[in-house]
Amino acid sequence: MNSPKQKQVPQVSFAQFLDYFPETTLPVTLGEESAHQYSKINEPFHKLAIEQFIYPIEPENTDELTEFVPCFRIPDTHAFHAVVYWRASLMSYQFVLATFTPKGQLIDRRVLAGTLVQNNLMTQSVATIEEDWMIYIISGQSPAHEELYEAARSKAFELELLPDGRIIHPM
């Protein structure tokens, strides 16, 4: 008895996904101009890579206009992999740090920097990832219609990438 052939769904391996992210040298700063630079130097994601590895970890709905750009991989993460990608959608541009087990299972995910316009308020953040995996973030808000940014309204905070791949707020 012949069984019908099952159609094979193409797959992207986790190793192929990681290949989109060149290792970087730390420290690295993520700001407004960074995404443009990464989109010029890095190969764009294949649709299958986004479907298999990005969509499952995105908490917000994405649509056909949402764009993802691979940025870099953090070096010397022996027990896990840490990658940064840029996510652009309507009125929201974010740099996302995602950590994975060696087999490709998500450990943690955090937005580090970007621009978000919501309720007529614009929030802009810049992040620096240091050699010791400390992440320093400066974030400020202003009314979306104002061009003048007031530094006094900025907030600074820290995150830390731990050796197990978790991203925490240090005490």
- Is 109 domain-assigned? yes
Count: domains in the chain? 1
pLDDT at residue 79, as a whole number: 94
Q: Going residue by residue through the chain (171 aa), what tens digit of pLDDT does each one get? A: 455 555 666 789 999 999 999 999 999 999 988 988 999 999 999 999 999 999 999 987 777 789 999 999 999 999 999 999 999 988 889 999 999 999 999 999 999 999 988 888 888 999 999 999 999 999 998 887 666 556 667 899 999 999 999 999 987
Quickly list H helices, the chain: 14-18, 34-41, 47-49
Q: Which domain holds residue 102?
A: 14-168
**Is position 7 within any domain?**
no
Q: Is residue 127 part of a domain?
A: yes
Is 9 a domain residue?
A: no
Residue 8 lies in a domain: no
Judge whether 2 lies within some domain: no
**Residue 69 burial (10 A CB sphere; 0-12, 13-18, 19+):** buried
In a domain, 6, yes or no: no
Report pTM. 0.89
Cβ atoms 134, 158 nearer than 8 A: yes
Q: What is the CA radius of gyration of the chain?
A: 18
